[in-house]
Structures are given as structure tokens and as C-alpha cells.
Amino acid sequence: MKFISVIFIAISYILLPVAFSQVGESINSSSFKIARLKYAGGGDWYNDPTAEVNMMNFVRENSTINTAEPKFYSVDIASDEIYNYPFIVITGHGNINFSEQESLRLRDYLESGGFLLADDDYGMDESFRREMKKIFPQQDLKELPFSHEVYRSHFNFAHGLPKIHEHDGKPPQGFGLFDSNGRLCVFYIYESNITDGWADPREHNDPVEKREEAMRMGLNIIVYSMMN
């Protein structure tokens, strides 16, 4: 099953999902959801499950995007359910491993209109880059300029990604991979860790202003993914 189309109505860069369908059947996607991508290899794909819940609540409160019930949704690459989620998140601290079949399936998902937000939670960088080469062997992750629309699709981030956690003290970077039509379909966040900023405050004790920056950047990415 593949995406046929995703139609959105834009109102001053705030988007309302209208329709989403698959070959052979229609799927109700009038309510926006964020799904966490499961993976093998030993990394903790499931960490901080409050992150997406809080982000969906932020989307509800700061946009006109019609969201589903804010809860933790997860999806397996091998399941047809992956095609029900136009926006999925992968994160964690450890190793990621995709089988050949999973790599082909994730490539199909992305080429069919899906969007993957990858957030290095300090420890997945090497394996993520390796696994992306299985999916897009002809591409290298490309750093996006600060002028890219993802940094100004809703809120303005003139200097790119916010720095939420220090990690190695390096500047945060945003990298992209593109489908065969030139659409940004993978956005990889390195040395920022915005999904930790989405999680409940008790998880990481992030200051209010850092959590706000993380949420705002998250909404930018969601809005951008809907516009393209």
C-alpha cells in the first residue's frame, strides 16, 4: 500500500489536514498523529514516551492543525500501519539496524510521501548514518542552510536549530535526505536533541525556555512536512 495523496489547506502557514488515502482503501487522517518508529539493533527506540504526547498537545494549542488524541503511538516498519502515519520519529541512544527488507520498505514509505524526523539522543549517530546509506545509497546527509524553510515555516529560527542539550558541546546541525522528486523526506537533528525538550520536565530538568524552543522547532518541522 502506498500514499496516493495528502491534501492540506494552508492558512497563514497553519495547515489543516484534509485527506489521505492508500491504494485500495481510504484512511481517515483528518487527525494528525506522531508515531515513534520501532527498530532492532539494541537502541532504546521507546525512550521518553511523553515526548510525542506533549508535542501533539503543543500542536493543538499553537496551531489549527486537527490532532488526534495525544498519546504515544508507535509503529513497526514491517506493518502496513506505517502508511497510516505521514510523520514518524526515530530517536534513541544506541545502535539501529534495519534488515534489507526493512530498508526497502522504509524507502518505499519515504518515496510514497512519508516524512521521517530523526533526533540523535546522543549515541545513535554512527548507526543512523550507516542505515540511511542502505535506504538512499546514492546520497549523503546534506546539512540544510539556516535559510531553509524548515527554520521559518511557522516560528523563525534565524540561526538554525536550538541547542537543547550540551552533549559534546558542538553546534546543533540539521541534515536532510531527499526523495526522487527532490522533496525533503528525512530531517536528521544532530547535537540538539529537541525530543528530550518535548518530554515531561521531570525527565531532564530542562529550563522552560529550552523546552519552549524545542516545542516551537518541532511545530516548524511538522508544518514544513505538511507543506511539502
Query: Each residue's pLDDT tens digit in the chain (228 positions)?
Result: 454 333 333 333 333 333 333 332 222 355 899 999 999 998 889 988 999 999 999 999 999 999 999 999 999 999 999 999 999 999 998 899 999 999 999 999 999 999 999 999 888 999 999 999 999 999 999 999 999 999 999 999 999 999 997 777 789 999 999 999 999 999 999 999 999 999 988 877 789 999 999 999 999 999 999 998
Where do we find the cell 526515530? 90
Q: What is the DSSP letter of 97?
A: B
- For residue 225, give the 3-state DSSP assignment: helix
Instruction: Report d(CA 31, CA 65) in Å as an integer.
Output: 8
Instruction: Report d(CA 228, CA 226) in Å as an integer.
Output: 6
Instruction: Report d(CA 72, CA 174) in Å as an integer.
Output: 25
Identity at 97, one-letter amino acid code: N
- For residue 18, give the 3-state DSSP assignment: strand
The CATH number covering residue 40 comes to 3.40.50.12140
Instruction: Report d(CA 112, CA 33) in Å as an integer.
Output: 18
Among 129, 116, 109, 49, residue whose Cα is nearest residue 89: 116
Angle at 29 (CA atoms; ends 27, 33), nearest 5 degrees: 130
Residue 43, CB-side half-sphere exposure with 13 Å CA sphere = 26
Number of structural domains (the chain) is 1
* Cβ atoms of residues 117 and 90 within 8 Å: yes
Based on its alpha-carbon atoms, the radius of gyration of the chain, rounded to whole angstroms, reads 16
Q: What is the pLDDT of residue 99?
A: 95
Containing domain of residue 90, as a range? 3-227
Instruction: Report d(CA 151, CA 217) in Å as an integer.
Output: 7
Sign of the C-alpha dihedral computed for residues 58, 60, 63 and 65 taken in this order: positive
Q: What is the pLDDT of residue 5?
A: 35
Instruction: Report d(CA 37, CA 224) in Å as an integer.
Output: 20
- For residue 50, give the 3-state DSSP assignment: helix
Instruction: Report d(CA 70, CA 223) in Å as an integer.
Output: 17
> What are the backbone angles phi and psi of residue 70, rounded to the nearest 5°?
-70, 105
Q: Tell me how long the chain is.
A: 228
- For residue 23, give the 3-state DSSP assignment: coil
Q: What is the pLDDT of residue 90?
A: 96
Maximum distance among all Cα pairs of the chain, rounded to whole angstroms: 49
Global model pTM greater than 0.85: yes
Instruction: Report d(CA 40, CA 32) in Å as an integer.
Output: 26
